[in-house]
Amino acid sequence: MSKSMLRTVLVIAALIIGLSVVYAPRIFSSTPAPIEESAEGEETYTYVTDLDFWKRTPRETTVKTVARFDLDADLNNVPLTVGDWQGEERPETNQEVEILLNPEQYVRRLYQNPEGQYIWLTMIGGRSSRPFHPPDICYSADGWQYDLGSRSVSLPEGGELYGLWLDADKQFADRSDPTEHVVYYFYLFPDKQRDLSDGIVLFKLTSAQYGSMDETLEMQADFIRNLFLKAE
């Protein structure tokens, strides 16, 4: 091998090593993989959750889940049976949602528990900011009055998952009482890099108010505890 050829090979080798060092963490960190099995022998996955997708907040946390919440998977595979809750698909029929948000994935379900309580689960996935209008902005634009706060959910294997809640109401002309929605939501990212192109999923629960606001949020927390096992 000539000296010139040897130098070329050495330079190429050095560049390959350098590029590997730069890109390997991104490549390997963007694919969520089962990290262990839960006590029931289920595969579990890790994600990062936060109250917002745009700017990191102090509530960012890493969670262990029993289902995949990333865009390399089909969000329709999130179980229809969630603890005592039984769900059915209720695809979005409003074409404006599709046109306005243009999500990569959009799953909408109605779950019911044995007490006859209902929860809507909406999961919106995308790789740009377009599908992710903060729910409070949408409610406000549609004429709802609301209070907004945050609440943590204690998970079965430890740790707290934080979400934002919305207590929204609106008086419709054809109803005697105001319609009330209790919304709880947070965002899921495949990893801490939170790169938009890796995909983001909005996880949103909506229900009527059952009892007090606290009782309603606790009912929603019960649903969440069946999908999210641990936070750290």
Partner 1 sequence: MFVRVTVLLFIIAAMAGCRAPLAPAGPTPTPAPPAGSCSLGLTDGVSDEDAIRAVLAAEGKLVVAQDIEPLMQLWAEEGVVADAGNTPERTDDDQRWIAKDAIRHRYVRTVFPGAPSAVQPADLEITIDGDAATVRATTHIGDEVAPAGDRWELEKRDGCWVIKSLTYNLEPAQ
Residue 161 is encoded by which pair of tokens?
């998952």
Contacts of 200 (CB under 8 A, 6+ apart): 53, 125, 126, 127, 132, 187, 188, 189, 194
Query: x/- contact string, 78-107, with partner 1 (CB under 8 A)?
Result: ------------------------------
- Residue choice 30, 42, 56, 104 for contact with partner 1 (CB under 8 A): 56
Q: 43, 92, 104, 136: which one contacts partner 1 (CB under 8 A)?
A: 136
Main-chain dihedrals φ then ψ at residue 226, nearest 5 degrees: -85, -10
- The alpha carbon dihedral of 25, 29, 31, 34 has a sign of positive
Segment (H or E) for 101: helix 95-101
Given the complex with partner 1, which of 106 and 132 has the nearer CB atom?
132
Q: To the nearest whole angstrom, how small is the minimum distance from the Cβ of residue 56 to partner 1?
A: 6
In angstroms, what is the minimal distance from the CB of 62 to partner 1?
A: 9
SS3 content of the chain, % helix, strand, coil (to 5): 25, 35, 40
Beta carbons of 223 and 85 less than 8 angstroms apart: yes
Site for partner 1 in 161-220 (CB under 8 A): 162, 164, 192-195
Nearer CB in complex with partner 1: 78/168: 168
> Which residue of 7, 17, 34, 102 would you call a contact of partner 1, by CB under 8 A?
7
Q: Could you say which of 32, 45, 49, 51 contacts partner 1 (CB under 8 A)?
A: 51
How many residues form the binding site for partner 1 (CB under 8 A)? 37
Q: Cα–chain-centroid distance for residue 189?
A: 7
In this structure, the number of other CB atoms found within 10 A of the CB of residue 108 comes to 17
Nearer to partner 1, 90 or 170 (CB): 170
Q: Which residues bind partner 1 (CB under 8 A)?
A: 4, 7-8, 11-12, 15, 18-19, 22-23, 26, 48, 51-52, 54-60, 134, 136-137, 140, 145-150, 162, 164, 192-195
